[in-house]
Amino acid sequence: MTGSSDKPMEHNLSQIDVIYDAETIADRIEVLSQKIASDLPEDVLIIVILKGSFIFAADLLRALDSSGMQPMVDFITIWSYGASTESTGTVNLTRDITEDVRDRAVLVVDDILDTGRTLAYAKNLMTSRGAKTVHTCVLLDKEARREEPIEANYVGFPVEDVFVVGYGIDKAHRFRSLPFIGVVRTS
């Protein structure tokens, strides 16, 4: 990897340990989409929390479409990490949705449920705006870090208390494009 801030950092894949490969992720998304399609109305409004969940959300939406659903989609940007590997402890809303959630079934999609602050914030926000129901779906559940009393309705995979990258998830804005989920070795 290069150390200069003027040049993009190269992905040194030999320094990343794969936790979930692309095929495993695709298989799990298919299972999740079938469960969501059987539980929720076909016109559910999906609220995607950016930025980390964009790849997961795109694949999930395609799978839901194949399951016969016709969800609407909107995006919200909420973060508590920024460029750090530790949560700031504060949730920041930097881009709000444009759709009205009043009296609608909503599914909030996020990349990782760890402290629970971001997902709890999004769920409470949709509830306060009058959503009929608010369900949650996360790619990864890092239960060991939970600080808020929240559990996701739909979970892709459990993950240990490690900092993961890939499949949309970044480390200081890098590694999002990797087709798998892994951990960058520190040594």
Residues 133, 73 contacting (CB under 8 angstroms): no
The residue annotated as part of the active site, out of 59, 110, 111, 114, is: 114
Residue keyed to tokens 């996360």 = 138
E strand intervals along the chain? 16-20, 45-50, 72-79, 92-95, 105-113, 133-141, 154-158, 164-165, 181-184
Question: Which residue is associated with the tokens 């700031």?
Answer: 88
Q: Report the C-alpha gap between 140 and 145 in whole angstroms.
A: 12
Cis peptide before 51 (omega within 30 of 0): yes
* Residue 114 annotated in active site: yes
Q: Provide the annotated active-site residues.
A: 114
